[in-house]
Structure 1
Amino acid sequence: MFRPTYPIRTARLALRPVALDDLDDVHAYQSRPDVTRWMLDAGPRTRAQALASVTAMAGEDALRAEGDCLALAVVADARVIGTVELVWRSAADRTAELGYVLHPDHHGRGLATEAATALLDWGFGEFGLHRAYARCHARNEASARLMARLGMRQEARHVESYLFRGEWADRLVFAILAREWRERQPPQG
């Protein structure tokens, strides 16, 4: 089992497991159309749907087996402002998929980059990933910019590769290798 030492701290944030007590904060952003616009499940979430989401994420505090998701609350000023996650896609290939969502009130300050960086640091460090990738709808420019800020390169544009709200959509795939991640990091000491 692989579990970070909690909380993972950054200059402005703490990353920790999601708890049932986070429902109000999570519902505050999951209920917004501008947050759910690019999510596969249609539309803003009701409180009951947000509770189901929080309940599922509350059990995702470690990577125990291939396919597991590590979902962490992004906490700023004692409030959950979003989540970051790593999904263990392949043990043999040491690969995981990065995901993230942040309340729009906190956009534009580098907080999503800070949170994702901290999770990738753990993934490439303690967890021993070789490769991390992330995907987004081709029109989700903000997500693509975030992946680029993380140093991920665009590896693919899958044309009309999935049904998104009844229409065929293009998907962008970005990735970074452990050695590339280490080369981007400032020297320690």
Structure 2
Amino acid sequence: MLQPTYPITTPRLALRPFTTDDLDAVHAYEARPDVARYLYWEPRDRDTSRELLAKKATRTAIHQEGDALDLAITHRHTGELIGSALLIWTSSTHRQGEIGYILHPDHHGHGYATEAARAMLTLGFTGLHLHRITGRLDARNTASARVLAKLGMRHEATLVDNEFVKGEWASETIYAILETEATP
């Protein structure tokens, strides 16, 4: 089980549970075609963002396999919400998890995704005692691949045309890191 103490702080960021008050900030990035481009969903309308935000707000602890932490990424000193970070416990038997992240494009290129994802890796390895954590992404998303590489994750596979997404075949790239390879 993992029940973090919030906020989880990094040098520049604070990760915290979502609240319904985050709707404007969340919808500001979820409605953007450039954000949804490499994700499974299309740009979201406000009602969909509101509905999914209510679900995110409940994902604050991991009790069993299949559970996830879905946390708001905020600037530590201003409190501005700039994205989300995810940790999923994918297998208790094999001690495996997966991380993910989404940032508003106005905040790309500053290392925030790497900083938030590193915090999620730490939670997975120290809080859940995972052995292995993966990151999966659309193979065309080279910026996200660079984030995973900066974390020390290795490119393990590219599954060519393995999914039919948004009317086209898409390839998926998988990165991974073992607990013994992670640096705090």
When normalised by structure 1's length, the TM-score is: 0.93
Return the offset for 1:5.
Answer: 1.2
Determine the structure 2 residue equivalent to 1:37: 37
- The amino acid of 2:53's aligned partner reads V
Aligned partner of residue 171 in structure 1, secondary structure: strand
Determine the structure 1 residue equivalent to 2:18: 18
Write the mapping of 1:16-165 to structure 2, written as runs, cut at 5 A. 16-42=16-42, 44-76=43-75, 77-165=78-166
Taking only aligned residues, the RMSD between alpha carbons, in angstroms, comes to 0.9
Aligned partner of residue 96 in structure 1, secondary structure: strand
Taking the aligned partners of 1:159 and 1:39, their CA distance within structure 2 comes to 16
Query: Residues 95-120 of structure 1: CA distance to partner in whole angstroms, max 9, x if unpaired?
Result: 01111000111111101111111111
- The amino acid of 1:114's aligned partner reads E
Aligned partner of residue 125 in structure 1, secondary structure: helix
Taking the aligned partners of 2:62 and 2:24, their CA distance within structure 1 comes to 26
Aligned partner of residue 161 in structure 1, secondary structure: strand
- The amino acid of 1:180's aligned partner reads E
Poorly superposed stretches of 4+, deviation over 6 Å: none
Determine the structure 1 residue equivalent to 2:9: 9
Which runs of no fewer than 5 residues in structure 2 stay unpaired? Answer: none
Taking the aligned partners of 2:66 and 2:163, their CA distance within structure 1 comes to 20
Return the offset for 1:122.
Answer: 1.6
Taking the aligned partners of 1:45 and 1:23, their CA distance within structure 2 comes to 12
Which runs of no fewer than 5 residues in structure 1 stay unpaired? Answer: none
Return the offset for 1:52.
Answer: 1.3
Determine the structure 2 residue equivalent to 1:177: 178
Query: Residues 55-76 of structure 1: CA distance to partner in whole angstroms, max 9, x if unpaired?
Result: 1101100111111111011011
Query: Residues 38-90 of structure 1: CA distance to partner in whole angstroms, max 9, x if unpaired?
Result: 11112x11110110121110110011111111101101121211000011100
Taking the aligned partners of 1:85 and 1:30, their CA distance within structure 2 comes to 15
Taking the aligned partners of 1:53 and 1:38, their CA distance within structure 2 comes to 18
